[in-house]
Chains A and B, each alone.
Chain A
């Protein structure tokens, strides 16, 4: 399933890469979830292994009954940020690997060498030859990285603030002895 979703993502990025130079929000929700689902009785969020394409760990959020609007906003923001980040890094890692292979191929062919040597091992370039590619990759993607950075800082900060508000809200409710689903109109501290 990962390969299927991964290949779908790659297809999208191959088609859309010309249009998308900045790390903006994807046009629609990208399906990338694994088959795992936590036990119904679990009340926590669950975090999974690093995704193979983006190296980010997916999170499955627990939706409590009587979720407050604040909690819902937080959950949606976190999910959205996760998906947006996942898409950026998938694209980044794939592009990096692809361009690296192309660079190696072109360097080897300009030297007149085949891709594999007599033992059948893949030929590698020296660090200096690879360094040319690394520099080129960084320079080419500078604006994309900068805009991802800006947006990531903003989202991270907003998520943390929302988490703080939710935590304070829940603490206040606990302190004033209110249970979930009752007395939600009063007792909002922030």
Chain B
């Protein structure tokens, strides 16, 4: 239906040259098909009713072909529910232009010939220009927009999740709850996370522009300048790490700085170089609960590493499932992710780590972090995510990937909450009753 009318047009031309009657039959069908595109229909009618002695040039035919494809809204190759003629001119998807461009190699590829007269007629060109001018914005900071811009720059929702995991780490530590230290650790982690996310966006501007998920970020839209973003990152990072080092303890400060470094200087560049970025990213995700624990106890205990282990293993079903449905965008953007380059490994790793969560939960009582009830109460959710990971491994389709991803979103807060409720209470005389109820996951 999309290409054949054009070849039918060629057919018309051939038929007209031999037998007018056949041409008439075909041209009527053609006219019915182009009823929606008034300009092209008029042109076609004129063309078909013209004296058969008048021969068109091949260029004219191809011009009409382009005109037909471009201006007729039904001939778009992807279903677009709303079709405004002007909107199709200003559509920022490159499909329509690429299709036009793909027709160019069929002609002789000379700039002279290629300069197509298929620009809209004057009133439409002026309208298009006017609408385009409206889309140009001044590169000026709107102070009223700044809070929203900063929120998007620092990926505030992700930061909130990171702070929640750090708070959970703090709460799981077997020490009395100190609200001041807790607050300083949370604020410090929040600021460090804001820094890391801002620098990540600063590095990735042209890549973010080309992916649908990320093309509305502040730096891509030019709402702030790169210098502004870096200044914001420094303004968050320096106080954040200082607060963690001086207000909490040097170990936590070191971990915070290490995490910023790992995220900005290791994970971000590695995304375009090698699939090991996923493992580095999993470590980055695992550090905040470790930081929470060290903020409480001041030392890297096995319990801290267990909590970090939970986050590390959780990352794989979470991220592998997410990236499974983004393979086209990653490929076009040049991101080397397991889901694109090593799909089998992607599914295996997701399954492996989902099952690993069951084993890690069993380590809870072994390391005196939780009571023996924890592996039991967490078994249902761990089995469920393992089941979904198994289905993802077995079938590897979009549906199962989506299910696994959405399961991972509630699985982690649930797991942390269960761990908190099953926390091993310490010796009775120093009992701190606040721990199980303190940080409820903000999701």
Q: Mark B87-125, 1 if CB is under 8 A from A, else 0.
A: 000111111011011101100011100111011000000
Q: Mark B278-313, 1 if CB is under 8 A from A, else 0.
A: 000000000000000000000000000000000000
| A145 partner, pick from B116, B227, B272, beta carbons under 8 A | B272
User: Which candidate, A47-55, A65-73, A171-179, A180-188, is the interface stretch facing chain B?
Assistant: A47-55
Known: A48-B136, A131-B343. 19 other contacts (CB 8 A): A6-B101, A11-B110, A11-B114, A14-B105, A45-B138, A47-B221, A48-B132, A52-B91, A55-B215, A92-B332, A92-B334, A93-B332, A116-B3, A120-B2, A130-B327, A153-B203, A160-B230, A163-B227, A167-B227
Q: CB distance A135 to B269 under 8 Å?
A: no
Measured in the bound complex, the distance between the Cα atoms of B30 and A148 in whole Å is 48
Q: CB distance A53 to B94 under 8 Å?
A: yes
With A36-B129, A49-B136 as known contacts, state yes or no: A138 contacts B397, CB within 8 Å: no
A21-59 with Cβ < 8 A to chain B: 34-36, 38, 42, 44-50, 52-57, 59
Q: CB distance A89 to B109 under 8 Å?
A: no
B123: shortest Cβ distance to chain A, in Å? Answer: 15
Measured in the bound complex, the distance between the Cα atoms of B330 and A160 in whole Å is 27
B139 within 8 A of A: yes
Measured in the bound complex, the distance between the Cα atoms of B91 and A160 in whole Å is 32
B387-403 with Cβ < 8 A to chain A: 396-398
B226 within 8 A of A: yes
With A6-B101, A11-B109, A96-B332 as known contacts, state yes or no: A38 contacts B136, CB within 8 Å: yes
Q: B226 contacts which chain A residues (CB < 8 A)?
A: 156, 159-160, 163
Report how many residues on chain B are interfacial, defined by Cβ distance under 8 Å.
65
User: Which of B2, B94, B114, B137 has the most chain A CB atoms closer than 10 A to its own CB?
Assistant: B94
| A131 partner, pick from B119, B203, B327, beta carbons under 8 A | B327
With A1-B119, A89-B206 as known contacts, state yes or no: A35 contacts B129, CB within 8 Å: yes
A146 within 8 A of B: yes
| A127 partner, pick from B105, B225, B397, beta carbons under 8 A | B397
B328 within 8 A of A: yes
Q: CB distance B215 to A50 under 8 Å?
A: yes
Q: CB distance A49 to B138 under 8 Å?
A: no
Q: CB distance A122 to B272 under 8 Å?
A: no
Q: A101 contacts which chain B residues (CB < 8 A)?
A: 102
B440 within 8 A of A: no
A141 within 8 A of B: yes
Q: B332 contacts which chain A residues (CB < 8 A)?
A: 92-93, 96, 137
Q: CB distance A93 to B210 under 8 Å?
A: yes
Q: A57 contacts which chain B residues (CB < 8 A)?
A: 209, 220-222
Q: CB distance B101 to A94 under 8 Å?
A: yes
Q: Mark B193-231, 1 if CB is under 8 A from A, else 0.
A: 000000000110110011000010000111001110010
Measured in the bound complex, the distance between the Cα atoms of B341 and A141 in whole Å is 12
| B92 partner, pick from A49, A93, A96, A160, beta carbons under 8 A | A49
Q: CB distance B133 to A36 under 8 Å?
A: yes
B92 (CB) vs chain A CBs: closest residue: A50
6 contacts between A and B (CB under 8 A): A3-B100, A7-B100, A44-B140, A47-B137, A55-B210, A138-B341
| B336 partner, pick from A34, A38, A138, beta carbons under 8 A | A138
A109 within 8 A of B: no
Measured in the bound complex, the distance between the Cα atoms of B337 and A145 in whole Å is 14
Q: B136 contacts which chain A residues (CB < 8 A)?
A: 36, 38, 46-49, 60
Q: A149 contacts which chain B residues (CB < 8 A)?
A: 269, 272-273, 334
| B90 partner, pick from A3, A49, A96, A119, beta carbons under 8 A | A49
Q: B1 contacts which chain A residues (CB < 8 A)?
A: 116, 119-121
Q: CB distance A42 to B138 under 8 Å?
A: yes
User: Which of A11, A54, A98, A134 has the most chain B CB atoms closer than 10 A to its own CB?
Assistant: A134
Q: CB distance B2 to A47 under 8 Å?
A: no
Q: CB distance A127 to B327 under 8 Å?
A: yes
With A44-B139, A46-B137, A101-B102 as known contacts, state yes or no: A137 contacts B116, CB within 8 Å: no
Q: B102 contacts which chain A residues (CB < 8 A)?
A: 97-98, 101
With A36-B133, A127-B398 as known contacts, state yes or no: A14 contacts B109, CB within 8 Å: yes
Q: CB distance B98 to A94 under 8 Å?
A: yes
| B341 partner, pick from A38, A46, A97, A135, beta carbons under 8 A | A135
Q: A146 contacts which chain B residues (CB < 8 A)?
A: 272-273
A19 within 8 A of B: no
Q: CB distance A44 to B202 under 8 Å?
A: no
Q: B415 contacts which chain A residues (CB < 8 A)?
A: none
Q: CB distance A6 to B221 under 8 Å?
A: no
A53: shortest Cβ distance to chain B, in Å? Answer: 6
Q: CB distance B97 to A55 under 8 Å?
A: no
Measured in the bound complex, the distance between the Cα atoms of B79 and A119 in whole Å is 13
Q: A8 contacts which chain B residues (CB < 8 A)?
A: 111, 114
Measured in the bound complex, the distance between the Cα atoms of B140 and A56 in whole Å is 18
Q: CB distance A47 to B139 under 8 Å?
A: yes
User: Which of B119, B139, B330 has the most chain A CB atoms closer than 10 A to its own CB?
Assistant: B139
Measured in the bound complex, the distance between the Cα atoms of B138 and A124 in whole Å is 42
With A7-B116, A11-B109, A116-B2 as known contacts, state yes or no: A46 contacts B138, CB within 8 Å: yes
With A138-B331, A138-B336, A138-B341 as known contacts, state yes or no: A10 contacts B273, CB within 8 Å: no
With A11-B104, A138-B331, A160-B226 as known contacts, state yes or no: A53 contacts B109, CB within 8 Å: no
Q: A35 contacts which chain B residues (CB < 8 A)?
A: 129, 132
With A46-B137, A52-B97 as known contacts, state yes or no: A131 contacts B92, CB within 8 Å: no
B85: shortest Cβ distance to chain A, in Å? Answer: 16
